Structure 1
Amino acid sequence: MKLKLSLVLLALTSILVLQGCGSNTETFANNAIDKDLRATIHAKNDSLLSALSNSDMKTFKKLGSPDFLKHLQGRIENAVWAFRKGILKTDYKIYHEYYNKHNKAYDNAKIESENGQYSLQYTHKNKETYVSLLTTSYADITDYLVTIIYEKIDGAWKLDYIHLDAFGQYGKNAQDYYKLAQQKHKAGFILDAFFYCTVAESCLNPAENKLTYNEEERITFYQKRWQEEVDKEYKFPQPLHNINSVPNVASISPINNPEGMFAVFTYETKVPVADTETLKMEFEEVKREIKRIYTGLDFDKKYIYYRAFNPGRYDNYYEFKEVKK
């Protein structure tokens, strides 16, 4: 039985000159951008996110380029749902922003991040564009990237693209989680490495095909490879034969709370979950056996969760939380 994951993402101040399919693109990043231009775009971003929260068509029409307005419903469909339903708030942080001057009015541009984490590629129809990468989060756990592209048309900045997708967790993106996975694997914790790498793999496309991480192929490769290693090493259900009641470990997966991502073991027990006293006595043995068997997990964390359920009653469980002292 394969493990199931319940996964529901540096300031640049230099001027970069980058190639865009044969033409040069001069890119100004973050603080290198004229402060008045930044203020103009920031005001537009504020208006845009506010409009997403209440489906303000008047504001969309004011912000959008002719091409954007021609396909308005399709252009905003991906981003509007989360803000309109209140899943995401309109407050955000600026991850990176780029003001770009292109030699050609219709071409492809490519921006390489100075920290070496990603490249950003997109097609532009005008000689000046502005890319805003904004981050916002759900419950301070799951991070989302809002990718916004403006084009300067007849002297005015007009919205041409917006996309929303999972970016990471707790302020870390896909490449950050891959680095954590590498560290855990090096330390001998294959389960942690797999969990972190799966988070990374799930957040590889925060801007459709426009943003590409430099480690993308390695992330995809190791997520699959470590999945195979985990499946080979740990079989489910796993009977705990050293305990008289022989509970069965059904799964292990990550669980998120506001403090971070932690492991949760789910196990089937014959002890009625309503009989908490007997259940607690059995749990002490379960906890000891799990630590003996699952050596691929780093137990030196603030929390480890355990959920006990009765046969056929997966929705009715008793949860134990082991807190590191």
Structure 2
Amino acid sequence: MNKLITLCKALFIVLLLQSCNGTETFTDNEIDPKLQELISRKNDSLLAAMSNSDLQSFKALGSPDFVKFLRSRIESSVWAFRKGVLNTEYKIYKQYYNKHSNTNSYAKLESEDGDYTFTFKNNTKETYVALLKTSYMGIGDYLVTVIYELHDNQWKVDHVNVGVFGQFGKNAGEYFELAKQKEKEGYLIDALFYSDIAVSCLEPAGKMLVYDNIDKMQYYQKEWQNRVSSQYKFPQVVSGVRSNPQIVDLKPVVNTEGMFPMFSYVTPVPLADKKILTMEFEDIKREVRNLYPALDFNAKYIYYRAYNSPSPGAAHHEFKETQN
């Protein structure tokens, strides 16, 4: 009986400690509009400071700990703004206002859609996490993560991070879904292209944001990579073309309209002989459809680069096939 009582007491203490370490979270429209507006102004000031390395603004915005270690807190994040890669325009991706039972503990925020978990250390009993999305030329998307803490009734920046979020408005999870759909349709090469993007965007907030299906993303990317590598070897002789050009590479390229496949091939036809080169290209277009059935040729553009030498940096001539 004494052992049972002791066990019950221990269980009660564990449950009590768990309740004390709880976090009450308000998301997006649940947050007081006045607080949202206040944080919005601070976000604007922070990004402006990042664009011109305004140390005085950083000091005014930062918590005591942030200011004490200012250089280490900002050096990995300001370069993209300072170099003009990113501008100060942004959209709010997600925001969380948190009330914590304890300080110096770790809070865990679950996304409403079940896509990710965000974990961070709270040094005060009230925190505000602002996830801001910005982009480079509308192509590459970046996530700016800002964590505010309430110090003496004033909201201060304690953490800022910039990480790759995705491309063309889609994040890692969305690209993984596209990859699975392409694989289901029989387009394994496209599935690999999309999964490559997914795994390159798995840490938009460093180690704080973890996608729930990260293991699946990484597993299938490796699986599809192995399958593509075993099925398609380079160089690939295009024997159906009289000049016997060799496909030496197939990879995705990105422009402002999207991501498209690009073939690189070595040909004996001189690049200066545009007439013969174009005639050869028309034959290559036909043959690659037979050689690469795992590629979706319905893309708006398909690029081809002709080389006379496989050496790095060699001159090339580019063709662009446009789908009607």
Fold conserved between structures, TM > 0.5: yes
Structure 1 CA distance for aligned equivalents of residues 31 and 236 of structure 2: 58
Q: Does 1:316 align with 2:315?
A: yes
* Equivalences for residues 133-148 of structure 1 within 5 A: 133-148=131-146
**Pairwise CA distance, 1:309:** 0.9
Structure 2 CA distance for aligned equivalents of residues 231 and 21 of structure 1: 52
Q: Give the structure-2-normalised TM-score.
A: 0.93
**Pairwise CA distance, 1:315:** 3.7
Structure 2 CA distance for aligned equivalents of residues 118 and 21 of structure 1: 23
Structure 1 CA distance for aligned equivalents of residues 178 and 205 of structure 2: 23
Change (3 A) 1:48 1:315: farther
Residue number in structure 2 paired with 1:96: 94
Q: Does 1:25 align with 2:26?
A: no
Structure 1 CA distance for aligned equivalents of residues 169 and 18 of structure 2: 30
Q: Deviations over 1:26-64 (max 9, x none)?
A: 110011100000001000000000001101000000000
SS of residue in 2 equivalent to 1:165: strand
Q: CA RMSD in A?
A: 1.3
Percent of counterpart pairs with the same letter?
Answer: 51
Unaligned 5+ segments in structure 1 are 1-18
Q: Does 1:304 align with 2:302?
A: yes
Residue number in structure 1 paired with 2:150: 152
Q: 220, 223, 229: which is aligned to 1:222?
A: 220
Structure 1 CA distance for aligned equivalents of residues 169 and 314 of structure 2: 31
Q: Give the structure-1-normalised TM-score.
A: 0.92
Residue number in structure 2 paired with 1:253: 251
Change (3 A) 1:206 1:152: same
Bigger relative CO (Cα 8 Å, ≥ 6 apart): 1
Structure 2 CA distance for aligned equivalents of residues 245 and 311 of structure 1: 15
SS of residue in 2 equivalent to 1:236: coil
Q: Deviations over 1:228-272 (max 9, x none)?
A: 000000000111112121100011000111111110011111111
Change (3 A) 1:149 1:46: same
Query: Number of residue pairs matched?
Result: 307
> Is the CA contact 1:83–1:90 (under 8 Å) kept in the aligned structure 2?
yes
Structure 2 CA distance for aligned equivalents of residues 147 and 21 of structure 1: 28
**Pairwise CA distance, 1:178:** 0.1
Structure 2 CA distance for aligned equivalents of residues 136 and 72 of structure 1: 23
Residue number in structure 2 paired with 1:3: none
> Is the CA contact 1:53–1:86 (under 8 Å) kept in the aligned structure 2?
yes
> Is the CA contact 2:20–2:101 (under 8 Å) kept in the aligned structure 1?
no
> Is the CA contact 1:79–1:164 (under 8 Å) kept in the aligned structure 2?
yes
> Is the CA contact 1:20–1:108 (under 8 Å) kept in the aligned structure 2?
no
> Is the CA contact 1:270–1:310 (under 8 Å) kept in the aligned structure 2?
yes
Q: Deviations over 1:194-245 (max 9, x none)?
A: 0000100000001110000011000000010100000000000111112121
Residue number in structure 1 paired with 2:4: none
> Is the CA contact 1:20–1:110 (under 8 Å) kept in the aligned structure 2?
no
- Radius of gyration: which is bigger? 2
Change (3 A) 1:20 1:311: farther
Matched letter for residue 98 of structure 1 = Y
Larger helix fraction of residues = 2
Unaligned 5+ segments in structure 2 are 1-16
Change (3 A) 1:223 1:148: same
Structure 1 CA distance for aligned equivalents of residues 318 and 81 of structure 2: 33
* Equivalences for residues 58-207 of structure 1 within 5 A: 58-207=56-205
Q: Which portions of structure 1, spanning 4 or more consecutive aligned residues, are displaced by more than 6 angstroms? A: 19-22
Change (3 A) 1:306 1:22: farther
Matched letter for residue 209 of structure 2 = L
Q: Does 1:286 align with 2:284?
A: yes
**Pairwise CA distance, 1:301:** 1.4
Residue number in structure 2 paired with 1:11: none
> Is the CA contact 1:197–1:223 (under 8 Å) kept in the aligned structure 2?
yes
Residue number in structure 2 paired with 1:54: 52
SS of residue in 1 equivalent to 2:234: coil
Q: Deviations over 1:114-136 (max 9, x none)?
A: 01111100011100000000011
Residue number in structure 1 paired with 2:242: 244
SS of residue in 1 equivalent to 2:205: strand
Structure 2 CA distance for aligned equivalents of residues 306 and 132 of structure 1: 43
Structure 1 CA distance for aligned equivalents of residues 140 and 310 of structure 2: 31
SS of residue in 2 equivalent to 1:78: coil
> Is the CA contact 2:20–2:102 (under 8 Å) kept in the aligned structure 1?
no
